[in-house]
Structure 1
Amino acid sequence: MKNFLYNHSLILFLVVMLGRGFIGMFAVKGIQFFDPSLNIQEDLGWFIMLIYATCAFLAVKWVKIDKEIGLKMPSSSKAWIVWLPFLIIPLTLAYVLGFNSTWGHVPFLLIAAVCVAVNEEILFRGILLRAILPFGNAVAIIVPSLLFGAAHLGNIFVGGDVTYALFQFGWVTFGGMALTAMVLANKSLLPAIVFHFVLDAVEYAATGEYGVHSSDYSLKLLSVFFLLNVAFFLYALFLLKKSKTNSQQVTDAFINAR
């Protein structure tokens, strides 16, 4: 079974997606059986994300593809530095939305932000990217990111605002393509996980919600955030192209030296 899943990353992706969903659903139903007043949006979001992240992490460790998909330190500190311009996105969120959480709620929001980052990066920039990468970089960047964006549309069915969810699909898709390009350039998931955590932590602290937003936001704000993610994507493509050029130059120099 382990060898089969190692050689079929797409099936592994589906197994983890479905498996974590069922485990999370039964866990929530079990908690709500004892306390029906608890709901996902306000109370149990962090717990579900903890289950999801644990399932994803244990799956890649069990199949032994954790290092292969990038759960290792980057080879250079430059792999961290190039992410600094992207901090304009969480800084913009913090400036516009401020802080809207009780301090007692903050630890749960941070747990949720860490777990969302670990879960989604392992699934979409790890397992799924590994499955689709043989079809070329372009397909590997676009397809997982579209699925990543589509997955967020599910927030509509658990109380999320429809307009917000549609904009979220757009910026998550472009942001996902940017993250994928950065993972390909850095050969590591860790910077992507850290950046993803920072972004979600700021968002959750600003809204007081676990990423499922029922509040109304202005079209101007939603559009600005969408454009920031498009810019993020273009910058990431530039870095990926630059990394490939540098890698080719090193290869050529090695061949010439021989």
Structure 2
Amino acid sequence: MTNQLAPSRTSFTQRRPVLSVVIIELLLLFAVFAAGAYATIAQLDYTAPILISFIPIALVCIVYFSVRKRWKAYGFNSLSALSPSYLFYYAPLLLVLIILSLKGFKAVTLTELLFFVFFTVLVGFVEETVYRGMILHILLPKGVAPAVITSSILFSLTHVLNMLSGQDIARTILQLVYALLVGAVLALLMVKTKQILPLILFHTLHNLIQFLGNETTSTIVYNTIVIVILAAACLLLIPGIRNANHRTQEHHVAKRTL
């Protein structure tokens, strides 16, 4: 009689993490572009492509996480578990929101305000879940640095594709750097705190301020200041990435040897 251990089951994302990330990114882009094409043909509002594509994505994520019990795996942990010592690392995000608020706000009706709140919550949930939840989580076995860098680049490229609407190269480059640094800071915070809810909250408030911001005010100066703050935040967070990388690799080695 032989006593052999049954081979451990591994998911597709564990066996093919890079391919999994490519598939996720392509599906997201296809959904947005298809919704954009439909919205253009039907002459819908500029928010329609996101609503048409992100609402089904959000529902799929909610059902999948609930059925497979994957909420905690992607960072949806109780905020009570957040160490008070980590609150300091969120200070740059608060400063960014304050700087952007200095532009002032345009007058909107209550209906418009409620719509933009729903819209920004939807975007914050979907984008954080995809980039700082799923993609970052899938790539972490490859190392923290590759996971953070890849998720940040994909996040920025996705946003730049939405920005290429005839604007000048300088503004596009500025927005590319802006999105890249936002993605990097949020990814580093996710690695350090294992909490995605504060990132969704920041993402929501950031977009809400941008939507409600005074359109007559130049945004270049404010965006430049925010870029400096985000770059400083990266320098603040990066020193801990080696320890996080070491712990992550040890964790995955331990899992393989069980």
Shorter-chain TM-score range = 0.7 to 0.9
Matched, 1:170 2:172: no
Unaligned residue ranges in structure 1 (runs of 5+): 209-214, 249-258
Displacement after TM superposition at 1:177 (Å): 0.8
Q: Tell me the amino acid that sits aligned with residue 230 of structure 2.
A: N
Query: 2:226 corresponds to which residue?
Result: 225
Q: Tell me if the contact between 2:164 and 2:172 (Cα under 8 Å) persists in the aligned partners.
A: no
Identity between Structure 1 and Structure 2 (%): 21
Query: 2:51 corresponds to which residue?
Result: 50
Q: Tell me the amino acid that sits aligned with residue 83 of structure 2.
A: K
Displacement after TM superposition at 1:218 (Å): 6.0
Cα RMSD (Å)? 3.3
**Aligned pairs for 1:205-216 within 5 A:** 205-207=212-214
Aligned CA distance change for structure 1 residues 241 and 78 (closer, same or farther; 3 Å): farther
* Post-superposition CA distance 1:217-241 (Å, at most 9, x none): 3643332121111122223335656
Query: 2:32 corresponds to which residue?
Result: 21
Q: How many residues align?
A: 229
> For structure 1, which segment, 16-25 or 136-145, has the greater mean C-alpha deviation from structure 2 after superposition?
16-25
CA distance in 2, matches of 1:199, 1:21: 21
Query: 2:106 corresponds to which residue?
Result: 100
Pick the aligned partner of 2:143 from 110, 124, 136.
136
Q: Tell me if the contact between 1:101 and 1:206 (Cα under 8 Å) persists in the aligned partners.
A: no
Q: Tell me the amino acid that sits aligned with residue 20 of structure 1.
A: A
Aligned CA distance change for structure 1 residues 219 and 84 (closer, same or farther; 3 Å): closer
Query: 1:68 corresponds to which residue?
Result: 73
CA distance in 2, matches of 1:232, 1:50: 31
* Post-superposition CA distance 1:119-158 (Å, at most 9, x none): 2111111221123212211111112111211222123334
- In the superposition, the TM-score normalised over structure 1's length comes to 0.73
Displacement after TM superposition at 1:89 (Å): 0.5
* Post-superposition CA distance 1:180-210 (Å, at most 9, x none): 01111121211111111111111211146xx
Aligned CA distance change for structure 1 residues 108 and 123 (closer, same or farther; 3 Å): same
Q: Tell me if the contact between 2:191 and 2:244 (Cα under 8 Å) persists in the aligned partners.
A: no
Q: Tell me if the contact between 1:50 and 1:111 (Cα under 8 Å) persists in the aligned partners.
A: no
- In the superposition, the TM-score normalised over structure 2's length comes to 0.73
Displacement after TM superposition at 1:54 (Å): 2.9
**Aligned pairs for 1:143-222 within 5 A:** 143-158=150-165, 162-207=169-214, 217=218, 219-222=220-223
CA distance in 1, matches of 2:38, 2:127: 20
